[in-house]
Amino acid sequence: MDITPFTPGCGAVVSGIQLAGLKCDDLKKLRNAFSDYGLLFFRDQKLSKEDHVDFAERWGSIVLNKFFQSAEGYPNIAEVRKEQHQETNIGGGWHADHSYDKEPALGSILVARSLPDRGGDTCFADAANAFDALSPGLQQTLEGLRALHSNEHLYGEDGYYQKTDLSQQLGGMDRVGGATHPMVIRHPDSGRKVLFVNPGHTIGIEGWSNKESFALLNFLYGHTEQDAFTCRFNWLPGSVAFWDNRRTWHLAKNDYRGQFRLMHRITLKGVPLLGTT
């Protein structure tokens, strides 16, 4: 197995293995790489839907997405689908999956199933490396704060998706909700400090006004979105991305108008997140 950084500040490419039927030793090496990088890319995988579920179950427990449709016959696989006629895509803004849950998801394993001729890349950001680059003064301030996360503004009755052509596809408006988490977490596996806010789901800082919250949050978003901490992955048939939701954000580009794109996503159950103080 070969593990090479993808960009200096974001992700790694793993080559020389097939995720289907992975040997125990290789799984161990992969766990270490996941802890080191928080974002792994694989090419040329032969991963059936069964293999996708098997690999996910070897890693941990699967958590179902409350809003997406699942692949027929596979309740554990969420479909990230955009039809030819649809204008809106799922996950088109920076976000971390399920950060609005009390136990935010460990990670997501995304498999390319049908790709547009061109376009449809996914961008990623590494919020652990972004945190490390902040000044010690700001780091200390952030470590004492908690942020509120929600999905209501996206999936609720008056939410963003209800006003788009995805409204029929993204069900479960009755399941909206949120949680608060430390703004800086101690990563449960690597022990690193990670900035745990994201533009998609963070709706404010506990005890701060909206105006105050977004003055700081927008600064942190601009900081994290810099080239130094981000990368852009170009999907090919057989590509797989596996990211840590506690450490990374992602954004699906919507630059393939008039073409079909289908991805299969399995999300893994996480644990309650603890702060650093």
**Site residues (vs ligand SIN, CB under 6 A):** 80, 90-91, 97, 108, 110, 122, 250, 252, 263, 265
As given in the structure block, the two tokens for residue 245 are: 């939701």
CA angle 68/74/75 to nearest 5° reads 50
Q: How far is the CB of 137 from ligand SIN (least distance, A)?
A: 33
Q: How far is the CB of 122 from ligand SIN (least distance, A)?
A: 4
Q: Between 121 and 152, name the residue whose CB sits nearer to ligand SIN.
A: 121
Query: In the chain, which ranges are E strands?
Result: 2-7, 10-15, 39-42, 62-63, 70-71, 74-82, 107-114, 122-126, 146-150, 178-182, 184-186, 193-195, 202-205, 230-233, 240-244, 248-252, 261-268
Residue 168, burial from CB neighbour count under 10 angstroms (0-12, 13-18, 19+): exposed
Helix (H, G, I), strand (E, B) or coil at 36: helix
Beta bridge partners, 41, equal 13, 241
Q: How far is the CB of 212 from ligand SIN (least distance, A)?
A: 29
Q: What DSSP state is assigned to residue 111?
A: E
The residues that are catalytic are 95, 97, 250, 265
Q: Which residue is nearest to ligand SIN (CB)?
A: 91
Q: Between 97 and 101, name the residue whose CB sits nearer to ligand SIN.
A: 97
Q: Between 38 and 91, name the residue whose CB sits nearer to ligand SIN.
A: 91
Amino acid symbol at 158: D
Q: Between 33 and 123, name the residue whose CB sits nearer to ligand SIN.
A: 123
Q: How far is the CB of 252 from ligand SIN (least distance, A)?
A: 3
